[in-house]
Amino acid sequence: MKQNGQLHPIKLVAAKTGLSPHLIRVWERRYGAVSPERTDTHRRMYSELDIERLKLLGMLTESGHSIGNIATLDIDALRALMVDRPVPAAMPRGEQLHFDRREIGKHYVDRAVTAIADLKHAALENALQEGAVALGQQGVLIHVVAPLAEEVGVLWQNGTIGVAHEHFASAIIRTFLGNMSRPFAPNETSPHILTATPTGQLHELGAMLITAASVALGWQATYLGASISPVEIASALKQKPARVVGMSIVYPPDDPNVAKELRRLKQLLPEQVRLMVGGRAAPSYRDVIEDIGGTMTGPLEQFMACLQEAREG
Amino acid sequence: MKQNGQLHPIKLVAAKTGLSPHLIRVWERRYGAVSPERTDTHRRMYSELDIERLKLLGMLTESGHSIGNIATLDIDALRALMVDRPVPAAMPRGEQLHFDRREIGKHYVDRAVTAIADLKHAALENALQEGAVALGQQGVLIHVVAPLAEEVGVLWQNGTIGVAHEHFASAIIRTFLGNMSRPFAPNETSPHILTATPTGQLHELGAMLITAASVALGWQATYLGASISPVEIASALKQKPARVVGMSIVYPPDDPNVAKELRRLKQLLPEQVRLMVGGRAAPSYRDVIEDIGGTMTGPLEQFMACLQEAREG
DNA sequence: ATAAATTTGACAAACATTGGACAACAAGTT
DNA sequence: AACTTGTTGTCCAATGTTTGTCAAATTTAT
């Protein structure tokens, strides 16, 4: 560690924290937010820790906390609050909509990732729930859950988090998606879709995402799960006459078995049933998919667009 | 599981819940929906629990409930409403009490099995939900979900239903269990338990059952998932100091690997952490479990009894 | 000398609070 | 149809509090 941490003058601190020197002094005077050292000529000199503190305070006030209430909390309490902070509402409202929804989504993804790393059940759920409030049902799927799923996959593969974290996250995300996929009004008229993924069970999240997305668009979705054979799907189709079969392929980017299964599936499907394949790895199978008359969709957004279109067609 | 006694100003609450500050105040004035603390200058300060309440109220009114009717319900009732479907059709009320709880459970299991065979999402959910109403949280776990999980396993192995049905059922049961394992009130004092299963991902349900059961008994449970290595568990224990590690072993009745893993686990566990192993296949490993000083529990009921006892010990 | 920091007091903008008023809507009644 | 009655979200005005910014006077750096 740092035995004799560098001390920094206020101007530098202001630059690093994005706060004005004025403000920093006022926070000190009024609320005792920090207590910097002084030179023998009364100049403030801030430690790294002070800077960290001020940065946190800046972000937290930005997102709605009032400075008077948090100024004296210790640094761990501040960090704890960061986990639950909502998206800064400070922007002029008009712009907020213009602002990329992806930006807002990122905020919640960050929160979710932190929660996962800390194994914080409630915090993860809150992040998702508040994301749903901020972005709407469809928005949270596209801009929070989908990127989060990928992020978790990445972090897992590069070892930043363990399997336990990954499963912990999956369980909670699945519950969240499951709640979303609850059939709303049992509306007889709305079209059906069957969802599944041909690949291993690890990648169920993709299929559940598709399911939730379908429900959000007003379809009646039946989720068949992972590692489903074409025969199973065909037989399920007899019980649930669906207009579309949606599949998600997330991982193996080039598996000849998957290609084979897709062809097989097409043979077993009735004529009028449309096949839509999405998920991260879908592009790798573009040729096969087009060959058998299916629709390849990339990111979730595109899948939803296709689904929307299929509804009229 | 907010350990934070922090209070939040109305602005922040508004951002987190998506309600306007106006509306929050009006709900308080007219219906007593929340009773926030006040600062010495009369400003409202909301607890995490208040926020949770308001979030739920917001979502429920959004989906059609009238605020006047739900404003004063307690938080558990609100959560129950979130999961509620319109149709509470049921059993003959009068006889209900006389029956053995197992008998009643059977009724719901039957309904659930039918729903699974027909791929009826709503019907399956209703069966579970109504089972929970009739038998209570613990009762539904012991007498409905646990037997149902076994039944599905059997039907699947003998080919009566396909993988698709099995996965379909798993997804919905998991969501149901996930909703049950939602951490309740921020209760700092309740003990922690980590749950997992060492075997393949197919048998997650067992572990989730244990998790839900623990929560029903007032524990704070962290679900780590399936195929978790001893190392993972030990490392998770550093983040979440738990008193008990609960494992579920459902399937391979005699796997030397599992035995090895269990021994390994014991080595890595701190002294005071207790190990409890349940699930269908647990008895096959009785020797190992006793050897390493763990507790073997058979059916879910027994697991819950042990957990109860461990709470005092 | 010019630029930057410090302290103090002052101020305006943003934010909260209370209480009342109002429009939109749904349901039941005449 | 017209009229009541009740519910619910929004808005206004008057008052008070919190917070960011500024100016003035003074001291310190370059």
Q: CA A203, A204, A207: angle at the middle one, nearest 5?
A: 110
Give the domains, in start order, of chain A with CATH numbers.
Answer: 10-73 (1.10.1660.10), 93-177 (1.10.1240.10), 184-312 (3.40.50.280)
Contacts of A92 (CB under 8 A, 6+ apart): none
**Cβ distance of B178 and A175 shorter than 8 Å:** yes
Q: What is the pLDDT of residues B127-143, one digit of tens each?
A: 998 999 889 889 999 99
Spatial distance from the CA of B61 to the C1' of C27 (Å): 19
A249 pLDDT above the threshold of 50:
yes
Q: Which chain A residue is nearest to residue B237, measuring alpha carbons?
A: A119
> Which residues share a beta bridge with A46?
A8
Nucleotide in closest CA–C1' contact with B21: C16
Least confident among A248-252, A299-303, B175-179: A248-252
State chain B's mean pLDDT as an integer. Answer: 88
Q: Which residues touch strand C (CB under 7 A)?
A: A 9-11, 21, 25, 29, 42-44; B 9-11, 21, 25-26, 42-44
Q: What is the pLDDT of residues B116-129, one digit of tens each?
A: 999 999 999 999 98
C-alpha distances out from residue A282 to A145, A205, A227, A296, Å: 18, 15, 16, 7
Q: What is the mean pLDDT of residues B187-200?
A: 84
Instruction: Say yes or no: Cβ of B306 under 7 A from any atom of strand D.
Output: no
State chain A's mean pLDDT as an integer. Answer: 89
Q: A94: number of CA atoms within 13 Å, CB side?
A: 0
Q: What is the pLDDT of residues A42-60, one digit of tens each?
A: 999 999 999 999 999 999 9
B96 pLDDT above the threshold of 80:
no
Contact B50, B13 (CB under 8 A): yes
Nearest Cα residue to A193 out of A174, A212, A177: A212
Least confident among B58-72, B173-187, B257-271: B173-187
Selected for mutation to probe chain B from A63, A192, A224, A237 (highest B CB count within 10 Å) is A224
Contacts of B234 (CB under 8 A, 6+ apart): B265, B268, B269
Nearest Cα residue to B151 out of B203, B102, B113, B103: B113
Instruction: Quickly state the pLDDT bin for A254 (edges 50, 70, 90).
Output: confident
Q: Is B175 on the interface with A (CB under 8 A)?
A: yes
B114 pLDDT above the threshold of 90:
yes
Q: What is the mean pLDDT of residues A215-225?
A: 89
Query: Among residues 220-239 of chain B, which lie with CB inside 8 Å of chain A?
Result: 222-229, 232-233, 235-236, 239
CA distance B106 to chain A (A): 24
**CA Rg, chain B, in Å?**
22
A296 pLDDT above the threshold of 90:
yes
pLDDT of residue B95: 41
CA torsion through residues A173, A167, B159, B142, sign: negative
pLDDT of residue B103: 85
Nucleotide in closest CA–C1' contact with A30: D19
Q: What is the pLDDT of residues A267-289, one digit of tens each?
A: 999 989 999 999 888 999 999 99
Which residues in 37-56 of chain A line strand D, with CB less than 7 A from it?
39, 41-43
Q: How many CB atoms lie within 10 A of CB A6?
A: 10
Q: What is the mean pLDDT of residues B157-166?
A: 90
| Percent of residues, chain B, with pLDDT higher than 90 | 66
Q: Is B121 on the interface with A (CB under 8 A)?
A: yes
The number of angstroms, rounded, from the C-alpha of B55 to the middle of its chain's C-alpha atoms is: 20
Q: What is the pLDDT of residues B15-34, one digit of tens each?
A: 999 999 999 999 999 999 99
Q: Which chain A residue is nearest to residue B3, measuring alpha carbons?
A: A80
Q: What is the pLDDT of residues A77-89, one digit of tens each?
A: 999 999 889 887 6
Least confident among A198-202, B84-88, B134-138: B84-88
CA distance A304 to B167: 24
Q: Which residues of chain B are within 8 Å of residue A235 when distances are taken between CB atoms?
A: 162, 164
Q: Record the pTM.
A: 0.89
